[in-house]
Amino acid sequence: MMISPDDPPAGESPTEPKGNPAVRMIVMHWILGNLLGIAFAGALILFDPIGLRDLLIRSDALVPGIFMLVVGFGTTFGGVVAATAVMLQKKDDDEDEGPPSGGRREPVRRMAPALAPARISRAAVRARF
């Protein structure tokens, strides 16, 4: 078999980005969620449904307040979107329909109440009645 110079290399595909695909997927979804969170924070300031814009403008801490709002929303939304992407991945065992096979069933053990001695002083009994 002859190899010509026009053939692609046998290793990685030239169109495939370098790096671990799982890490790349998590980082891309985290960036997407981060941008979504920043957009929500911007919409919250822009539309001012709870008076947050007026509170920030009248405050001495305008820049730190906006920074904390944007970072908080971005981090939260980024983490939620990345975690959702990981949890919604299709697994190899998703095609299995029905109950798991193999193993044996253990009988369910029921707890029975046990009597325990209790000491009560006569003063406590007189105080109740």
Tokens 């110079």 — which residue? 5
Quickly list H helices, 1-129: 21-47, 52-58, 62-87, 122-128
What is the full per-residue pLDDT of the chain (129 aa) written as tens digits? 555 556 555 555 667 777 888 889 999 999 999 999 999 999 999 999 999 999 999 999 999 999 999 999 999 999 999 999 998 887 765 566 666 666 777 788 888 888 888 887 877 777 766
Sign of CA dihedral 23, 29, 35, 41: negative
d(CA 30, CA 66) in angstroms, rounded, equals: 21
d(CA 80, CA 73) in angstroms, rounded, equals: 11
